[in-house]
Structures are given as C-alpha cells and as structure tokens.
Structure 1
Amino acid sequence: MPDVSRLVRHRDGVPVYRYWTDRDVPPVSVIRGRRADLPEHRPHIHDFPVLWYAPAEAVVYVVAAGEVVDPRPLAAQSDGTGVFFDPAALGHDAGSPWPTWQAHPLLFPFIHGQSGGLLQLHLPDDRQPLWNNTIRSIEMELTGRRDGYRQATLAHLTLLLIDVARLTEDVVGDLRRSGEPLLAEVFAVIDRRLSQPLSLSDVAAEVGMTPGHLTTVVRRRTGRTVGEWINERRMSRARELLGERDLTVAEIANRVGMTDPGYFSRQFRRAHRVSPREWRRTGASGIRTESP
C-alpha cells in the first residue's frame, strides 16, 4: 500500500487500511510500478477507492472498497499505475470513512461486488490517451505543488471517475457477470419502471420476496436500501436528461417518476449539492470539489 495508507485494524484476521490525509498530504496519490513491487500481496481491505491502470493491457481495475481484495490475479510483472484517493476530498457528501460516502454518484463503481474485489474494465483505444494524459497531469500537480494544486488534482481525478462511471453504465450486466442474479433482477425492475411511481413493495412483488427480506438482502450486499437505489437510478437518469436542452425540469421530473417538480429538485440538490438548472449550466463540473 502507498505511504498515505495506514493499517488501522484487522477484520477477521484481514488487514484494513485507511487513507491517511492531513494538511501536508494531498487527497490523491499516484504510484507506478509492478504488482510484484507493492508491499501488500495478501488479501486485504481498504476503506478508500483505488484504481489500478495497466496501460499495456488497456485495462483498468476498479478495486472495491470495504471488501476483501485479492491482488494475486493482477499480472505480477506487468507495469501499472495506482490511483488512490480520499473520498472526503470529493465533498461533504462523500465523507470518509467507508461506507458513509457510497451514495456519491461517481463512487458507485467502487461497490461493484465483483469476486475478489477487482472489477476489470477494458479501455477502448480512443480512451487510453485520456487516461495516460490525465494521470500524468495529476502527477505533475502533485510534484509541483503550485498554488491551487489540490483543486487541479481533484479536477483531473473527476475526469477519470466520470470515465469509469461511463464504462460501468451497464449496472445490470455487471451484477449478472459478478454472480449477483437477485441484485441484477432488482436493478432490472428499477430501470424498467423508472418513469413510474415505484416503491419497495413494488420491487419486492416483482422479484417474489417480502419487502422486509428484500431490504435485508440488498442492504447487506450493497449498504443501501432499495429506496435509496431507486432514488440513485432516478438521479442518474435525470443527469442524462438534463443534457437535452429542450426538456424542462418538470418534464425531466415526470420522466424519472416524480410528478412533483419541487420534490424532484429537492432530491436532486440533496444528491448533488446543486439544483437541476445549475447542473445543466455547469455540466459535470456541477459535482463540486473541496480541498480537505
């Protein structure tokens, strides 16, 4: 693990690491090398997000937070780049430690549930320059430490997280491939009925479970309730629709199953800290960042 991580405890004999930041430690760290050179080779847990980029294979590994990670499947002799960051740096709604930040819209990929804690994403050829250049820019900011370097570093990190979110848009497919058929079915119901009024009872009826049992299973596996996932998927769809300039906020609210535009706007602001109209004006930069 990098110097900014600290062993804070053990869980069932497995070491747990935390991103250890202060006024002198930047909220993002980058390491280069081979998996064989990393100090931690055993299964371990960290309560902060990690990306491992292997440019030769054009692969990005999204390393699950809060889960036991087995690094052994990574090619030991393959050059790679690790990007570690404190989720608190993304804003107060991403407050550290895990799992309090998991509702942040850009951090959902880090709770993917893939076996072994590693979700493998193949980068298309046209996205590889973005990753190479953005990681290099982060390193330059961290090395130079000029005025505003923290904000610049977080801006570059946000670009990477947006790309990860786009690469993992197929939530249902990811869950099916990771051996979670029930969760896949739950998400399929939510996405299919997203434009309608939808409750926990509705989802439970479709998957043939009682609301109480479904709540227990989904919360245990993802850390969130079915209702929270319904709202997250509605907000995700709303962000997409806000890119269509001819749609009013009221029309977007209706399309994501919220007939009251005022309630929709309040939910959107609660999730993103900006109103739907502000998000539309600023685009992805509507996700604000703060220096710790």
Structure 2
Amino acid sequence: MTEATRVIRHRDGVPVYDYRTDHVTPPISLLRFDAHHAPGNSSPHIHEFPVLVYVRPTGAVYVVAAGQVIKAATVGEFDGAVGVFFDPAMLGDAGRTPWPAWRAHPLLFPFLHQRSGGVLELSVPVARRPLWDSAIAAIDTELTQRQEGYREAATAHLTLLLIDLARLAADVVGDLRRSGEPLLAEVFEVIDQRHTAPLSLRDVAHAVGMTPGHLTTVVRRRTGRTVQAWITERRMAEARRLLADTDLPVGDIARRVGLPDPGYFTRLFRRNHGLSPRQWRDRPAPVRSG
C-alpha cells in the first residue's frame, strides 16, 4: 500500500483499507511497480476507495473494485506498471468522507463491477496510450512539486483518465446502470444526508419509494451487505473522522452520528473496530510502507 492508505478495520479477518482524508495527504497517490515490487499486498485485502493499475508496456488496465476482497497477482504481470490510488471525494464535495455515497458519480461506476477476484482487466488501445502516459506523468509532476493549486491540477488530469476509463468500460457501466446501481446511489445519498439522526431500514425504504423487504434484497444482492450495515458504516466513518480530527468527548461524537446512547455507541464501535473509541483515538500511528 501507499502512505496515503490505512487499515480501518477487518472484515472476516481481511484488512480493510481506507484513503486518508487530512490536510497533509494528497488526494491522489501513485505507486510504481517493477519485477521486484508487487502491487499492494500478496495476501487478501479490501479497498474502500477506487484503485486502478496501468501497465504501460502492454496497455493493460486493472480496475480494482471497491469493497471486494482482492489478492494481488504475480509480480511479473505488473513490471513497468503504476498504481493510481485516490480519494473519491476529490471529484465532489472535498469535505465529505469517502464512503459509498461516491457511487453516485458516473465516472466511478467502473470501480463497482462484480468481476471474480475483484479485478476488471481492460486494454487501452495503442492510439489512446499517449493520453494515459501524459496524464500520469502530469499527476506525478504535480504530486512531486506541490506548487500552489497542485491538488486541483492533479484532479483535472485524473479526471481525464477516468473519462477514458469509463469509455473503455462502457459495457460494464451500462450493465451497472441497468442492474440497479442508480438505486444504490439514491440509498447511499439518503443515508449520507440523514445518518446524524435516528434512521432505520424503513426510513430509507420510504425515502426511495420501496418496501423494506424489496430494498433489503436489492442492496444485499448488489453489495453483500444490508441497509442497516451501511447505515452503521456511515456512522462509523464519521465517528472515525471526528475521533481523528477533533477533541470532542465520546458522548458528543455519539450524538453527532445519530446514536444518543454513548454506551451503545462504544459497544458498536468496538464491535466494528476491535477497539473502544478512546483506544482508537489514542492508538500509535501505524507504520507506513511504500
């Protein structure tokens, strides 16, 4: 992984990585690979943010699905490749926690695919490879020099890549639109807007005009998780942000994420993270590796 990522929890023993959202970490990170440096981990892991790997010598692009268990391929396949890791919130409201509400963005649909192993392989036509080469080189320059406005400039270059990626993955994007992904975007938007107050499956179902049973079936089929699990995830994402970025007492944080009972909030946080909120806030900074 890159220094911009961190393990936020484990799902069935598999580490889940999130992209750091602070004033120091750039919104995009590049990681170059060679015959001795494999992408990511060789052991199973999960990203909660979009990742793509471009293999310049062959023009192959590997689109890593968010939320799925990934196992890195053999090192040789990635010789000469560059990984692009980024905070999805960079394409919208820069202040939002990059949780699944980013699924509403049309340029990020390719990262929602359901391919086996969590990786979709595409090929960049020879005529379009200069666009990819120049965009990645420009992002690299912006991240290295970090002159005024570098975040906006890097975002602009990444946007060009994502537009071309969406065109390469046109069939996949079309399938996602037809299979209910816009509904998921609406569900996540409701949760995003209302997670700071009492919110139930029935409330979300009413907001999107569906029965609770039907909504549960659709969401579980497309994401492998329940609506209530996504409500909890949104609250936990906001709780982690408040624990990391503020000195607010745990009771105040509980109320801000729609859970007025601090004891229940603490039990829920511990169940999801293996630590109490105070322990999570006071834990040593993780060792970073490139």
TM-score (norm 2): 0.60
- How do residues 1-292 of structure 1 correspond to structure 2 at under 5 angstroms? 1-34=1-34, 37-38=37-38, 40-72=41-73, 75-76=76-77, 78-92=79-93, 95-171=96-172, 186=179, 215-223=215-223
Give the letter aligned to residue 21 of structure 1.
T
Give the 3-state SS of the residue equivalent to 1:170 in structure 2: helix
State whether residues 36 and 75 of structure 2, in contact with CA within 8 Å, keep that contact through their aligned partners in structure 1.
no
CA deviation after TM superposition for structure 1 residue 174, in Å: 6.4
CA gap of 1:215–1:171, structure 2 versus 1, over 3 A, is farther
Say if 2:109 and 2:173, in contact at 8 Å, map to a contact too.
no
CA separation of 1:115/1:92 partners in 2, compared to 1, >3 Å: closer, same or farther? Answer: same
Alpha-carbon contact 2:41-2:71 (below 8 Å) kept: no
Give, in angstroms, the shift of residue 223 of structure 1: 4.6
Match of 1:194 in 2: none
Task: Assess if the C-alpha contact under 8 Å between 2:35 and 2:76 holds in 1.
Answer: yes
1:167 aligned partner, one-letter code: L
State the one-letter code of the partner of 1:24.
V
* 95-104 or 131-140, larger mean C-alpha shift: 95-104
- Give the RMSD, CA atoms, in angstroms: 2.9
What letter matches 2:34 in structure 1? R
Distance 1:37 1:148 in 2: 31
- Whether the aligned pair in 2 keeps the contact of 1:63 and 1:117 (CA below 8 Å) is yes
**Deviation digits for residues 4-42 of structure 1, max 9, x if unmatched?**
101111100001111113112110011111375245111
The one-letter code matched in structure 2 to 1:34 is: D
Report the residue type matching 1:13 in the other structure. G
What is the rounded CA distance, in whole Å, between the counterparts of 1:14 and 1:35 in structure 2?
A: 26
Q: Say if 1:30 and 1:82, in contact at 8 Å, map to a contact too.
A: yes
The one-letter code sitting in structure 1 at the alignment partner of 2:52 is L
Residues 77 and 113 from structure 1, CA distance in 2 versus in 1: closer, same or farther, beyond 3 angstroms? closer
| Residues 7 and 15 in structure 1, CA contact (< 8 A), matched pair in contact too | yes
C-alpha contact 1:87 1:94 (8 A) present in aligned 2: no
For residues 7 and 212 of structure 1, what CA distance do their matches in structure 2 show?
Answer: 32
CA distance in 1 between partners of 2:12 and 2:152 (Å): 38
Is the Cα–Cα contact under 8 Å of residues 110 and 173 in structure 2 kept in the other structure? no
Tell me: CA distance 1:171–1:26, structure 2 relative to 1, closer, same or farther (3 Å).
Answer: same
Q: Deviations over 1:47-100 (max 9, x none)?
A: 011010011221101100111112126745622100000011111299433322
Q: What is the distance in 2 between the residues matched to 1:94 and 1:128?
A: 33
Q: Distance between the aligned counterparts of 2:157 and 2:95, measured in 1? A: 17
Displacement of 1:157: 0.6
Q: Is the 8 A contact 1:70 1:116 kept in 2?
A: yes
Contact 2:57 2:80 in 1 (8 A): yes
Q: Cα–Cα, structure 1 residues 29 and 125, in superposed 2: closer, same or farther, change >3 Å? A: same
1:35/1:80 contact within 8 Å kept: no
